[in-house]
Structure 1
């Protein structure tokens, strides 16, 4: 990874609730220009971590830096430069979306009172609520509330967006629209920290990922590195038995008509099978999916934690 400014850094971050370690000594490294996918199952500690990043929860031990300032001490300077959506947006139900955003707005890095109406209109358009009427927010659907929460996070044109499950309650079209919006924000220079359990969505957006499993950071790496070619080839054939015989021990796994073969060059595999009269209907360089990477990391972590004699995680 080329050297870029640190945007979020944690060192040995721990949060205990009684005897339970919700977050267990994690070292996050988020750099300027990242779309950082923060992944983990529900209950893995993601939201607790996000709340500590923003100074909403105090860590039991460890350090947090956001935009070069220690948190929560630097919150007054840092938070106006950060847009955040955590655990679903909270709004005044009797007010309209525009009125709620007007309450959220204030003079500062995002602009002044004179530009408030325009900026509110702009962010409502960005999140697909430009045509919303003056209904009170209590009449909004869950998806509309989520969009409004994202609009609130964008009001001040933040340098850093910290989002916790931002597509919660959205239909597939809404999810795709939010994905496109986040990618566009990234293209114009916004760093995005995106906490989610939706691996397929993160795989389409992230440049780097961190994987949290039972409060521990078990993986942190560039997505391109994690999903790089493995040196194997995926072969699809209606006659897997014949293909297995021709390839003579090079078949790693078999799933119906799909074989995973030890071979970095699909053309070489194809030539060998065709020469032997084995029909081939598909060939591809094998790249692990993000789901496969995350499951492998979590499995390795479980083996380490549960190894006899090691005891429960502290």
Structure 2
């Protein structure tokens, strides 16, 4: 769905995007993750033909961008750097103008599609207030509604949960998963580790303009070879473990072992009560720290 080769963008002496090779497959929920100022938005704008690359190649939906971007955009929904809108007009009127200016919609179905898009983002009961009276979260929802008007094959979103409260973030996450299950590929740029970890199936990590890691999230969060055990009998468990115990914090134990089922059977057989047991996996935060090194604390949490 999206492929770039050695994609580079310079602003004078500043290299904003540095030789990025990106691969977004059909059906992905792809999290493009990086701290603020790492080049994410610049790259997203190049994918949409809004900024021209200094060098390199871009292919979106099998077509070169920007050369054939006019063929691509009717199949792409996008929200970049916050939603644009006429503040004196209502949300519905803004969406009508947005739809009329684009391609691939149609006047006959416009009112129905606008209603469906507003309902999907939680603005079905929006009144005739001008957009300038909207909260930041409502504006963000309206921008996402605009991206959904034509049922796109590909969604390209830049920080789509900006300004939303925790409930709103959860609703947008569930919506994006639903859209993905219905066949829409989602490319999501964010600096929020927790949100990417809950939503995405594949991630690319960019730091200082360079793509430092790209892989399926499940592969990146591989088991560490340790097991997390919760037991009301920590002393008895430690005695049974025979030197495999790495750490103990009250009733929570970390054990060197790679098979939770076998370890559980061993403990239960020895009369140790097991409250919880699971393989430890790397968090996305750990993956990012390993990939980017010092300075990665510029990433945020939701």
| TM-score normalised over the length of structure 1 | 0.86
Aligned residues between the structures:
296
Please state how far the C-alpha of 1:221 moved relative to its aligned partner.
0.7
* 3-state SS of 2:127 partner: coil
* 3-state SS of 1:105 partner: helix
Please state how far the C-alpha of 1:241 moved relative to its aligned partner.
7.2
Give per-residue Cα distances to partners, 1:261-293, cap 9 Å, x unaligned: 221122443455567776654321222222222
Aligned to 2:7: 13
Q: Which moved more, 1:140-149 or 1:291-300?
A: 291-300
* 3-state SS of 1:230 partner: strand
Q: Which moved more, 1:145-154 or 1:274-283?
A: 274-283
Structure 2 matches for 1:85-164, cutoff 5 A?
A: 85-106=79-100, 110-164=104-158
The yes-or-no answer on 1:189 pairing with 2:174 is: no
Aligned to 2:221: 227
Q: Is the 8 A contact 1:81 1:109 kept in 2?
A: no
Please state how far the C-alpha of 1:10 moved relative to its aligned partner.
0.6
Please state how far the C-alpha of 1:141 moved relative to its aligned partner.
0.2
Aligned to 1:299: 293
The yes-or-no answer on 1:212 pairing with 2:206 is: yes
Give per-residue Cα distances to partners, 1:155-205, cap 9 Å, x unaligned: 121111000010111111111111111111111111110111222222222
- Shift of the 297–238 alpha-carbon distance from structure 1 to 2, 3 Å rule, reads farther
- Shift of the 130–283 alpha-carbon distance from structure 1 to 2, 3 Å rule, reads same
Please state how far the C-alpha of 1:244 moved relative to its aligned partner.
5.3
Distance 2:41 2:118 in 1: 26
The yes-or-no answer on 1:68 pairing with 2:62 is: yes
| TM-score normalised over the length of structure 2 | 0.89
The gaps in structure 1 that reach 5 residues or longer are 1-6, 303-314
* 3-state SS of 1:175 partner: helix
